[in-house]
Structure 1
Amino acid sequence: MMKIDVLTLFPEMFSGVLGQSILHKAAEKSAVSYGVINFRDYADNKHNSVDDYPYGGGAGMVLMPQPIFDAVDDLKAKATSGKTRVILLCPQGERYDQRKAEELAKEDHLIFICGHYEGYDERIREHVVTDEISIGDYVLTGGELGAMVVIDSIVRLLPEVLGNEESHMKDSFSTGLLEHPHYTRPADFRSWKVPEVLLSGNHKLIEEWRNKEALRRTLVRRPDLFEKIELTKSQQKWLEEVKKEYE
């Protein structure tokens, strides 16, 4: 079972997210357990302060190292696994993607640090954190929303969390391509019809159509993704066919 701990100044923000839908069901299935900890509880000063003015001056406040260090040490000591990944949510971090989600989903224990204010004491980055993650090139008021996004993307990959184990295997980005279109009943809705091939029952043709449509969607919306993947000979052939349609 994976253990996920979150260090935050606003633990109440997580109750709705972790207590609903797939994330809640994953905990019920014992695929994951969550701990949401207010790291202010680890402050060793009489005012329970976790931030202070930056040395050298400047705008804003900086999170002090002591509460974070002590909280992480405590959580590691309580962990049943010997290996822990400590993840800092930060706009300076590595751009998050599906491959990172798949990598983290293989771990036993994850600790997320959600910061606020102007930033972190640099010693937190240097001596506590194993991964720095950014969910995009923008700045949020804190790391909580970023942590929720990352946790959701990881937990859905854990064994037996999704009803169908193949559900996530063809997700957008899991294969390197964007996912093909989906259709359901009715077959004719307001004169917009489901592609005939999907009604044919010919699984080989359906799979070929899905591959082509994934290539088409990637070509139109995210052609940059082709630089990161190696296509099979069949995919290369289908991609050339798709490209000719736009000539």
Structure 2
Amino acid sequence: MANTPKSFGRKSIRATMTPSSLMDEVPDLAGVWQARVITLFPDAFPGVLGESLTGRALQDGKWQLHTHNLRDFGLTKHKNVDDTPSGGGAGMVLRADVVGPAIEAANAHSKGRVPVVYMSPRGVPFTQKMAQSWARCDGVTILCGRFEGVDERVLEHYNVMEVSLGDFVMTGGEIAAQAMIDATVRLLPGVLGNADSAVEESHSNGLLEHPQYTRPATWNGRDVPQVLMSGNHAKIEQWRQEMSENLTQTRRPDLWAKRTKPEK
């Protein structure tokens, strides 16, 4: 049915000859973090988000995913969504009178504090701090761009935040959207088995994570650092802190500079 979003989330499980799918329509769950994705390729979702911890949390109703097919808002019998750039130039641009109604439809389902963001190579860089901020919201609405981009008037009218996955250009925003949703969902209560994992990992405190080791104690002539085998938790914590600081200074001097820069 046109203009109806696909939803992914908690559903009953029963014996059937039909393969199980997260594509079925499900009602919104009250008080559950909602991700809404406006895209020309709704079948790309949930993708990797339906696997592992995020997939299990999706099935358990700890968060929900809804896709809004941009083609449903297309114009004419051909459902056109784009047109040539004003002023000339290569490529095509997503039309304001297509994207606008799509955002309106997504917003009609949103409750509480739900930022609207656009996957854009010219946007502000996505960071762990941003993921933490989104996790504290009631959800997020993501517009996945295609072609040369989207009419600027849409971004201005809806106060859309442009966010970039990195200093490179992709064919569309779907992969970036999945990456950002994954980074956010894993911070929601109950998604990670061990809540301390989110505290100790890279970028959570402005540092890269320390090296990790496990069994066997010796592998290919390389030993697990003796301090990690000592049982002295104070020394282990000190070692991990030193390793995090050393790695950050060496590999990400930009992060180290931000951490050590005195506040004005």
Q: Does the CA contact (< 8 Å) of 1:50 and 1:67 recur in 2? A: yes
Q: Does 1:36 align with 2:63?
A: no
Q: CA offsets, 1:150-179, max 9 Å, x none? A: 111111111110000111111111110110
Task: Output the CA distance in 1 between the equivalents of 2:202 and 2:235.
Answer: 21
The structure 1 segments of at least 4 consecutive aligned residues displaced by more than 6 Å after TM superposition are none
Paired position in structure 2 for 1:240: none
Deviation at 1:4, TM superposition (A): 0.3
Paired position in structure 1 for 2:225: 195
What letter corresponds to residue 73 of structure 1 in structure 2? E
Deviation at 1:186, TM superposition (A): 0.7
Q: Does 1:96 align with 2:126?
A: yes
Q: Does the CA contact (< 8 Å) of 1:29 and 1:161 recur in 2? A: no
Task: Output the CA distance in 2 between the equivalents of 1:99 and 1:11.
Answer: 28
Q: Does the CA contact (< 8 Å) of 1:32 and 1:155 recur in 2? A: yes
Quick one: which of 244, 249, 252 aligns to 1:219? 249
Quick one: which of 217, 239, 243 aligns to 1:209? 239
RMSD, matched Cα = 1.4
Could you state the TM-score of these two structures normalised by the residue count of structure 1? 0.89
Deviation at 1:29, TM superposition (A): 2.8
Paired position in structure 1 for 2:91: 60
Q: Does 1:14 align with 2:45?
A: yes
Q: Does 1:24 align with 2:55?
A: yes
Quick one: which of 57, 69, 72 aligns to 2:103? 72
Q: Does the CA contact (< 8 Å) of 2:68 and 2:106 recur in 1? A: no
> Unaligned stretches of 5+ in structure 1?
232-247
Task: Output the CA distance in 2 between the equivalents of 1:93 and 1:47.
Answer: 31
2:191 is paired with a residue of what secondary structure? coil
Task: Output the CA distance in 1 between the equivalents of 2:44 and 2:88.
Answer: 31
Task: Output the CA distance in 2 between the equivalents of 1:72 and 1:230.
Answer: 41
Q: Does 1:138 align with 2:168?
A: yes
Change (3 A) 1:208 1:34: same
Most deviating of 40-49 and 54-63: 40-49
What letter corresponds to residue 197 of structure 2 in structure 1? S
The equivalences for 1:136-175 within 5 A come to 136-175=166-205
Q: Does the CA contact (< 8 Å) of 1:88 and 1:129 recur in 2? A: no
Task: Output the CA distance in 2 between the equivalents of 1:186 and 1:43.
Answer: 58
The share of aligned pairs that are identical, in percent, is 44
What letter corresponds to residue 175 of structure 2 in structure 1? L
Task: Output the CA distance in 1 between the equivalents of 2:250 and 2:260.
Answer: 18
Most deviating of 124-133 and 203-212: 124-133
What letter corresponds to residue 42 of structure 2 in structure 1? P
Q: Does 1:228 align with 2:258?
A: yes
Most deviating of 206-215 and 10-19: 10-19
What letter corresponds to residue 52 of structure 1 in structure 2? D
Most deviating of 123-132 and 106-115: 123-132
**Structure with greater helix percent:** 1
Deviation at 1:190, TM superposition (A): 2.0
Paired position in structure 2 for 1:45: 76
Report the number of matched residues: 230
Most deviating of 18-27 and 209-218: 18-27
Deviation at 1:145, TM superposition (A): 1.1
Q: Does the CA contact (< 8 Å) of 1:52 and 1:62 recur in 2? A: yes
Could you state the TM-score of these two structures normalised by the residue count of structure 2? 0.83
Paired position in structure 2 for 1:241: none
